[in-house]
Chain A
Amino acid sequence: VIGRTRKDEL
């Protein structure tokens, strides 16, 4: 999955 790590990161 590319570009979807941010949803749970601050």
Chain B
Amino acid sequence: MNIFRLTGDLSHLAAIIILLLKIWKSRSCAGISGKSQILFALVFTTRYLDLFTSFISLYNTCMKLIYIGCAYATVYLIYAKFRATYDGNHDSFRVEFLVVPVGGLSVLINHDFSPLEILWTFSIYLESVAILPQLFMISKTGEAETITTHYLFCLGLYRALYLFNWIWRFYFEGFFDMIAIVAGVVQTVLYCDFFYLYVTKVLKGKKLSLPA
């Protein structure tokens, strides 16, 4: 555990909590892509199956349970409790265009051709693109609430910090995982455009709105 890894995890946790609180406090999920949230729930479910097979640390187990629990709670709020506020018409990204290629790729390129390993690989690949329905929704409506942009920033920051964590681990521990690194780079790159808008607009007190 290094400082990048810890702050990355905390940033990830902050993102998840921000989104849950935003929906809960405003009693609305307007502007939030339910499809992205379903994909994240799928990511955590397929990655953390090792909860049943191996114990790493209390920290590790607790965080996994919190991530999974929050992911399903978010999906529940969007599709059940506050369904009336869900903006399905604007959440029109075709997720099969992500899930099918990612599924194929995880079968083709993995560390070991075993069920748990393929599911872990699937979750890594899927996580890297799971935010696309949300970004698509924002580009379609042309704007995002400020709290939603804080959520996206924390979520992007998390993977960027993990990149530094992997650099650290490579130099000091000799560890590296090519699948995680390549997917992590892809994931971080997808946020770059958003990071630019966040810094130039939101941090200067303006609402994030895209030119028509």
Contacts and interface: CB of A to CB of B under 8 A. Distances in A.
B111 A3 contact: yes
A9 B188 CA distance: 17
Interface residues of A, number: 10
Contacts of A3: 111, 177-179
A1 B174 CA distance: 7
Nearest to A2: B176
B168 to A, nearest CB: 11
B12 A5 contact: no
A10 B9 contact: yes
B83 interface: no
A5 B1 CA distance: 11
Contacts of B12: 10
Interface of B: 5, 9, 12, 50, 54, 56-57, 60, 63-64, 67, 111, 120, 124, 162, 165-166, 169, 174-180
